[in-house]
Chains A and B, each alone.
Chain A
Amino acid sequence: MSPEMNSVPNTIFSPELAARFDKLVTLYPARRSALIPMLLYAQDEVGAVNDAVIAEIAQRIGITELDVRNVISYYSLLHTKPHGKFHVQVCTNISCMLRGGNEMLAHCKEKLGIGNKETTPDGIFSLEEVECIGACCWAPAVQVNYDFHDNLTTEKMDAVFENYRQKAGKS
C-alpha cells in the first residue's frame, strides 16, 4: 500500500506525533509492524486507545478497526478506557512477593482508598496489580506510568505519592 493512501489530513494527534507516525510506518519491511508502537504512543498522548485512536491508526496502517481491536485486547499495557493521571502498578510476582509486594499493594489500596483497577474520584491516581516488571532484584517494585520505583517501603511509597500529588497540582 502506498503511503499516500494512508495519509490522514484531519489527524487527532499532535503535529509531532503525527509526524512521528508518518515516519514510523516507513521504517519496517511491512507497515503493520508499526501498529503496536503506534498504539502505545497514541495512548500516551490521548490517555487511552479510544474509538478515535483506533479509527485513525487503522487508517494509517491500512487494516480494519476490528483487526486493531483484536491486537489491543492481547496486550496488557493497552487500555480503551482512561486511567488516572498517574497509574500505579504494583508488582506482586514472586520476587516482589518475597519482599513485601502484597503488603505494598494493600498499603496502596488503603492510601488511595481504591481497589485494584480503580481510579480515585479526582482522577489523579489509578491502581493495578501487575506481573513482574523486570525489577526483581530491587524488590518490592512499583511502576508509576513508566517510572520505576525500587526497594520500596511503605514510607518511601508515601513520599512517592506525595511527589506525584504535587506534580498533579502544578499542571
Chain B
Amino acid sequence: MPELVSHPEEVKVISRRWGQGAADIDKYIELGGYAALRKCIEQGPEWVINEMKTSGLRGRGGAGFPTGMKWSFVPKQSEKPKYVLVNGDESEPGTCKDHLIFLHDPHSVIEGTMIAGLAIGAKVGFIYLRGEYRYLIEIMERALAQCYERGILGKNIFGTGFDFDALSHTGAGAYEVGEESALMESLEGKRGVPRIKPPFPAVVGLYGGPTVINNAETIASVPFIIEMGGAAYAKLGTERNGGTRLFGISGKVNRPGVYELPMGYNLKKMIYEVAGGIPNGKALKAVVPGGASCPILRADEIDVGMDFDQMGKAGTMLGSAGVVVLDETVSIVEFALRTIKFYQHESCGWCIPCREGTDWLKKTMTRFYEGYGTTKDIDNMRYLAENMLGRTFCPLGDAAAMPMIGFFKKFRDEFEEYIRANPSAPESQALVELVGA
C-alpha cells in the first residue's frame, strides 16, 4: 500500500478523508459524504455551474482549463444523450495522485461525477481507470455497488426524481488514451487514436453525445467546492487559480510523496521544507515541475509559485503537478534520453510529425548518449522538436517536444560537455542535415 505523508504546511481539502477508511460508504457518509450532492439537487444545475465558476477550479489533468466554463459549454438541449467521462488514465511520468484518490476516497469521485452529470444534464457517467490500476478498479466497483444498494445511484435518487448511472471502466495500457479524444475512442472499444477537434467533446463526444471529460482530481474536488462554497475554495489559492492541489513530489528528495498544498505554493519551499530537501547533502540541479511533459527548470529558477499562470510565466507548465527533482548527480543527457524513449514508445503513430519526430529524436538521443554525438545533433534535435510544436494531430507531439526543447535550452553546456567527455567516440557525421548548413 502506498505510503501516506503529511506536513504541517498542507491544506487538506481533497485529501482530508485519506487513511480513514472512506472507501466504505458508511464512513464516507459519516465524514460528510453525499451531502454536497443533495444540496446540488436542491439548488439545480445553474447554481452548480455558478459555484464551479466562482471556485476558480481549473482542470487537474494538465491543461488547466476552467472547469465551470467547460461545463457551461455543454448545450442544454441535445437529441443525443449526454455523458460525464472521468479521466483516470494517469500515465504522465511523475504523476501518482489519482492513485491515492481512488484508493482512499473513491466516493468523492462518484459524488463529483454525479454533480457534473446534474450540472450538464447527463444521466450516465463513466469512470475510466488505467488497466494497471486493477486493485483500484476493484475498490471503485465496490464503492459503486454500495451506491446502488443505498439508492444513491440508479433511479429517483434521495426521492428527488434525479436519475443517474455510473460505471467504472478499465483501460489496458496506453499513455495516449489519457488524451481526451483518444480516451473516448478507447471507451468505445477502439484503438486510442485521437479525434480531430473541433467538434469539441462538450458538443460531440462519447457515442456522438455532448460529453464533459475531467480528470479524476478535478472531479473529486467538486463535492468539496460545493460544501465550502466556490468563493471560499477560490480563496485557498491564488488569483485565477482556485483551491488546493495534490503535488506529487518524487526523485531526489528526502520525503517523496503526495502533498496537498494551496495553488501558488512556492516550489523552493515545497522541495526544501515540505519534501525535506535533497538527500546526502547533494545540491539541487533541476526540477521538472508538472510531469514529464513540462520543460525543466534550473536550480536557480525555482523560487516561483506553483500555479498555472506563474509556471507559464516561468516558461514551463504546472501540468499534472508531478514535481520531479534532480540533484547534481543526475545526467541531463540520460534523463533526456529516458524522456524521449517514453514519448516515442507512446506515440500512437497516427500523425507523421509525432510518429517520425519522436522516433528521430530517440534515435539521435540514443546515438548521442552512446558517445557518438556531435554539436550538430544538438542543433538538429532542437530544430526538430521546435518544428513538432503545434503541428501534431493531438498534444502528445507537444508533450514530447516541449521537455526536449527545455533540456537543450537550459543544459546545452552539459550536452556539449558530454561530447567532449567522450573523446573515444569516432568522429561522426550528424544523422541528417536538418538545419541549413
Contacts and interface: CB of A to CB of B under 8 A. Distances in A.
Q: How large is the interface on B (under 10, 10 to 19, 20 to 34, 35 or more residues)?
A: 35 or more
A94 B189 contact: no
Interface string A23-41: 0000111101111110110
A70 B345 CA distance: 17
Nearest to B129: A134
B233 to A, nearest CB: 25
Contacts, number: 146
Contact of B207 (A29, A36, A99, A137): A29
Nearest to A97: B338
Interface string A65-94: 000001100111110000000000000111
Interface in B75-98: 81, 90-96, 98
A53 interface: no
A133 B135 CA distance: 13
B192 A74 contact: yes
Contact of B251 (A28, A29, A71, A99): A99
Contact of A131 (B3, B91, B99, B256): B91
A104 interface: no
A131 B248 contact: no
B251 A36 contact: no
Interface stretch (A119-127, A146-154, A158-166): A146-154
Contact of A33 (B187, B324, B326): B187
A70 B207 contact: no
A131 B324 contact: no
Scoring A94, A137, A146 by chain B CB atoms within 10 A of each residue's CB, the highest score goes to: A137
B96 A137 contact: yes
Interface in B335-357: 335, 338-339, 342, 345-346, 348
Contacts of A13: none
B192 to A, nearest CB: 6
Q: How large is the interface on A (under 10, 10 to 19, 20 to 34, 35 or more residues)?
A: 35 or more
A77 B172 contact: yes
Contacts of B206: 29
A36 B189 contact: yes
A139 B2 contact: no
A165 to B, nearest CB: 22
A77 B129 CA distance: 13
A8 interface: no
Interface string B227-250: 000000000000000000000111
A94 B338 contact: yes
Contacts of B61: none
Given A134-B130, A135-B2, A27 B93 contact: no
Given A97-B335, A99-B251, A136-B248, 13 more contacts: A27-B167, A29-B124, A30-B207, A32-B188, A36-B172, A39-B172, A75-B173, A77-B172, A78-B172, A95-B251, A131-B93, A131-B175, A138-B3
Interface of B: 2-3, 81, 90-96, 98-99, 124, 130-135, 167, 169-175, 186-192, 206-207, 248-252, 256-258, 288, 292, 322, 324-326, 330, 334-335, 338-339, 342, 345-346, 348
6 contacts: A35-B189, A36-B189, A97-B338, A98-B252, A99-B252, A131-B342
